[in-house]
A and B are shown apart, each in its own frame.
Chain A
Amino acid sequence: GQNIDQPTEMTATEGAIVQINCTYQTSGFNGLFWYQQHAGEAPTFLSYNVLDGLEEKGRFSSFLSRSKGYSYLLLKELQMKDSASYLCAVRDRKAAGNKLTFGGGTRVLVKP
């Protein structure tokens, strides 16, 4: 099976930077996804990593180290609208149907 851990909650100030860590254990890693989910809404795709290194998309970046089973999502220049839950999800190459296993999510609260 897969085990995915991320912090439950983080608080940061508007304009600052926040880093959300995700650690995973899987026998056949085949990609890691980050999703954003505002309260009461559906998750929306943010980023994808399958090779080691940093992927940058505007204010958001995601990093992966496959040897350490570790990823982080970096949110820069925080805005109030970034207050949301951030979900880390991993795909195993042995999993049929392109299934993803999700972590419990990290709720980020951005304060003025």
Chain B
Amino acid sequence: SQTIHQWPATLVQPVGSPLSLECTVEGTSNPNLYWYRQAAGRGLQLLFYSVGIGQISSEVPQNLSASRPQDRQFILSSKKLLLSDSGFYLCAWSKNTGGEPYNEQFFGPGTRLTVL
């Protein structure tokens, strides 16, 4: 079976500090990978997605970047955090099936980031 891991679970960082959040998937190969941010009481905002190693698409202009150094590893980074970067960060994966309709996304446990 497939599992998705994220760490750390919680993080408190000062404004201006760097950030690195990691996500890994087990039990599947060549997945689509996603980073979402969720503000308190709000829906999910897609930040980045990747369809393969080294292939990153950004959905919104922001202070963050993403990388996919290995097939099942997805990293979210920032050089200098802003207060507005606080939120609940969720990594997700789906099968890379080229548009097959029934293809849900599976979410990791999330990282709660507080920028002070």
> Are B43 and A87 in contact, CB atoms less than 8 angstroms apart?
yes
Docked pose: A89 CA to B110 CA in angstroms: 19
Point out the residue from B41, B51, B106 that lies within 8 Å of A107, measured CB to CB: B41
Query: Pick the contact of A42 from B51, B94, B107 — CB < 8 Å?
Result: B107
Given contacts A30-B101, A50-B102, A96-B51, contact A103 B43 (CB under 8 A): yes
* Interface size of A as a range: 20 to 34
Complex CA gap A30/B110 in Å reads: 27
Q: Do B108 and A104 have beta carbons less than 8 Å apart?
A: no
Given contacts A41-B110, A43-B107, A97-B50, contact A105 B42 (CB under 8 A): yes
CA distance A103 to B15 in the complex (A): 30
Name the B residues within 8 Å of A97 (CB-CB): 32, 34, 49-51, 57
CB <8 Å contact, B43 and A98: no
On whether A98 and B94 interact (CB within 8 A), knowing A30-B99, A44-B107, the answer reads yes
B87 on interface, CB distance cutoff 8 Å: no
B77-116 Cβ-contact flags toward A at 8 Å (1 or 0): 0000000000010100011110101111111111010000
Residues in chain B near residue A99, CB distance under 8 A? 34, 46, 49
Dominant secondary structure at the A interface:
mixed
Contact between A102 and B51, CB atoms less than 8 A apart: no
A102 CA / B97 CA spacing, docked (Å): 21
Shortest Cβ distance from B55 into A: residue: A97
Instruction: With both chains docked as a complex, state the minimum distance between the C-beta of B102 and any C-beta of chain A, in angstroms.
Output: 6
Q: Is the Cβ of A102 less than 8 Å from the Cβ of B44? A: yes
Which of B41, B42, B45, B105 has a CB less than 8 Å from the CB of A98?
Answer: B105
8 nearest A-B residue pairs (beta carbon): A42-B107, A104-B43, A102-B44, A102-B43, A97-B49, A45-B104, A50-B101, A98-B94
Interface residues of B (CB under 8 A from A): 32, 34, 41-46, 49-51, 57, 88, 90, 94-97, 99, 101-110, 112
- 12 chain-A/chain-B pairs, Cβ below 8 angstroms: A30-B99, A31-B103, A33-B105, A45-B105, A50-B101, A50-B102, A97-B32, A97-B51, A98-B32, A98-B99, A99-B34, A99-B46
